[in-house]
Structure formats: structure tokens, C-alpha cells
Amino acid sequence: MRAMIALITGASSGIGEATARRLAREPGSQLVLVARRGERLRALAQVLGGALVLAEDLTDEGAAARIAEAVEAEHGRLDMLVNNAGAGWSGTFAQQGAANLRRTIEINLLAQARLTEALLPALHRSAPSCIVNVASTSGRVARPGSSAYSASKFAFIGWTDALHLEEAPHGVHVGLVNPGFIATEGFPQRELVGRASTRWMVSTPEKVAEAIIDAGPGGRAERYVPRPYALAAAARLLLPGGVRRVLASRDGTALSTTTAAGTHAASAAGDQERDRAATGADR
């Protein structure tokens, strides 16, 4: 893997932080760290031996342009973009309504699209380059209590697939990573880890970071973490009725975990270590 300029959103914790640490091990790599929590970004940059720190809320419509200007001024190019920031709120559609759908799509799709649009010129100049969109298994298999979140991730995945086809002629590979349950500081997944029958479902931010390498410089189209989650996505296509029955059963609805903020739906597991605040949070 050539020395690269890589930008990671949601870099202050969880998957984003693990990805920054992984990329920092590559010879000559130079990182751009983006998240809302500037103090945590600066501490991480110091540990990594230096990085460009940009404390931004991606739901601010001016953030993408400011980030692109900073990257241009500091590096003049960009080899890898990791769209990892996102957020989710538990609750049924009847409880949360269209307002929750709107705010979830804003951070999980539109904010990522604005940033990608702003950085595409730099990615084109650096070709061959890559974009990795970190979505969720909930973008392939929806669950009750997370309709807005699943809708945003289904849309994010569809946009990713189309974007790859559009950008491949320009030398920009677009890969996709779909995490499932990821054990982090804020979401330790004690309920799942404590049961032998569900322990296999839980992975780590470090393994997601390796998947991001595979889906970016490695040229893979799509990776699931843990890998067996790909079977659930395949079953959803081949046996949709059966998957619905399983998810509606007691075993299916029992897949929820306790966090510092209470109960978090399993469908939001791919976006776990984010700011405890609402929008613009970090994975």
C-alpha cells in the first residue's frame, strides 16, 4: 500500500479511532481526523505522532467546504476517504415519526454525500484513490425499533453501489463495510458476550478497521464484520418471509444491548461508539 493521505470521519472514538491507529502504521501515511470532539482528536493526533485535526459537525452544511479547503491547503491531494460518522435513535416509526427519519438520513446519508462531493476533486487528482463507506448490517436486514436507522443505511448502501460505478472510470474505488455488533467503551455488549450462543456476533473496532483497509486500498467491494453477518443479508434476499418471522420472534427481538444511555436496538450496532449526543456523532 502506497503512502497515503487519508481522511477519517468520526475519528474521536470507536471504529474511527481504530481506523486512524491502523492507518497510522502504514509507512508515510498522513491522516486527517474529523469529528466534533476536538479535544479527543488532538489527544489521538499526539499519540499517532501528528495529524491534521478538524473539529466539525458534519450536519453543518458549511462543514464539507471547510474540510475540503483545509485538506487542499495542507496536502493538496487525498488518497482515501473513510465516511464513518453517523448516528441512530431507537424507537418505532409510530413513536418517532418522520422527524426522526429526516434527522437520521441527514447525518447518515446527506452529510456523507456533501463531504464526498467536496472532496471528489482531490480524490480524482490522486487517482488511483478510494472511498470507504461504513454502513451497517441494518442496511441489509432491517429490525423493529430502528426503521429510520435502517432506512438511512439502506439508502447509504444504494448510494455507495452507484457511486462506485460512477467513479471507477475516474480511478476512484468505492468500497463498503457493514459492521454488526461492535464492542466499544460505550457499548460493551455484555448481554451478547455473556451468552455462548451469541458471543460470535460481537466483534471489535480493530477488526472493522482491517475490513476498511480491505474495502479501500485492498479493492474489496464489500465486507461484513463479523463475516457471518453476510449470511443474514443473503437470507434476506432468498428467504424474506423466513427472515421476517425470525426477527419478529422472541429470539429476534431479544437482540438488544444495554448502554450507558439505556437500551440500544441491535440494528444500530454498526454505529456504536459515537458521541452520546445526537447528530454529528462519532462511531
Q: Which residue numbers are catalytic? A: 149
Give me the DSSP letters along the chain.
Answer: ----EEEEESTTSHHHHHHHHHHHTSTT-EEEEEES-HHHHHHHHHHHT--EEEE--TTSTTHHHHHHHHHHHHTS--SEEEE---------HHHHHHHHHHHHHIIIIIHHHHHHHHHHHHHHHT-SEEEEEE--GGGTS--TT-HHHHHHHHHHHHHHHHHHHHHGGGTEEEEEEEE-EE--SS---HHHHTSTTTGGGEE-HHHHHHHHHHHTTT--SEEEESTTHHHHHHHHHH-HHHHHHHHHSHHHHT-EEEETTEEEEGGGGGG-SS-SSSTT---
Which residues neighbour 99 within 8 Å (Cβ) at sequence distance 6 or greater? none
CA distance 78 to 120: 9
